[in-house]
Structure 1
């Protein structure tokens, strides 16, 4: 399925206009993780400003926003039983994740596949399918189409135990993590 991204702005007279309209870059499946895809929809810096002709933030150094900034990601999770076949190369998959999602890929734990944590407050909306959110100590929550999750910088992993892909839209807001004990 092709996802179209439309970006608006203003013309020289201040009237609203379409700046760009076309396929969302980065929606193609990962090579080393068949069925998985993740695209940066948009990213804003801290204290974002409305500009007439916004540039495309797809070439960001990191998809993880700085405190006060935001990122929107569109992610498709294949069913778990399709994700790691006999030919699966975890090192190649990790390298591709780091290349395609800089700043996020490096946060995944090698010793606990899928687990990661970011200094963000995340809003996740299940667009299609169903997926399980896994937290520490095996705690889980099943999310279905239309469900919303708010994550407060928690360590987590996503598990698609179903037989169809799950598609989610995430909005990450950069936050500061207090020292432990606060």
Structure 2
């Protein structure tokens, strides 16, 4: 059963290990904490924001850790971190509802458990297996777990990107039916 706060899936809980340096400059574990999950049960998903950072990251005096904690506590983080990155793990319920959306970002999606169907506007859906990677380039897309019985898990790394224009149209963020469920990123307003 789910072992981390807010986790709705029966998949193994996760622990985030942050590294750092001791006073002599040697590598050490800064902290190890259980994942914190935000359930979007209407869509059959749970999000765990592993880490956020500005780009390039400032690691001096643990500035990145403070920036991450401040952003998480603000409650204003959208799917994308303007001027930065987001590392997020998403658990998908069996036969979950695919939420079509577009982020203004370059994303890497890696299937960690199960299978995930990548749905695009004008292509046949692609079933991704464990270890498969999607490079999502600011397209309208959705993710669905096609299994009737097993949960699936993906790791996503989202990077803010410059405004994208295709055929004369700006392709900004579009949260679709997720509007109101997740915060807008605001990175298409720059």
Give the TM-score normalised by the residue count of structure 2: 0.70
In structure 2, stretches of 5+ residues that fail to align are 1-11, 169-190
Counterpart of 1:167 (choices 142, 153, 158) is 153
Structure 1 runs not aligned, ≥5 long: 85-112
Shift in Å at residue 65 of structure 1? 1.8
Deviation at 1:139, TM superposition (A): 2.6
CA distances 1:151-178 after superposition (whole Å, capped 9, x unpaired): 0011001111113111000000110123
Shift of 1:138: 5.5
Q: Number of matched residues?
A: 149
Q: 1:20 aligns with which of 31, 37, 52?
A: 31
Asked if residue 3 in structure 1 is aligned to residue 9 in structure 2, the reply is: no
**SS class of match (1:33):** helix
Deviation at 1:117, TM superposition (A): 0.4
Aligned alpha-carbon RMSD (Å): 2.2
Q: 1:59 aligns with which of 61, 73, 91?
A: 73
Contact 1:135-1:157 at 8 Å conserved across structures: yes
Runs of 4+ in 1 over 4 A off after TM superposition: none
Distance between the aligned counterparts of 2:112 and 2:26, measured in 1?
A: 32
Q: Report the Cα offset of residue 52 of structure 1.
A: 4.0
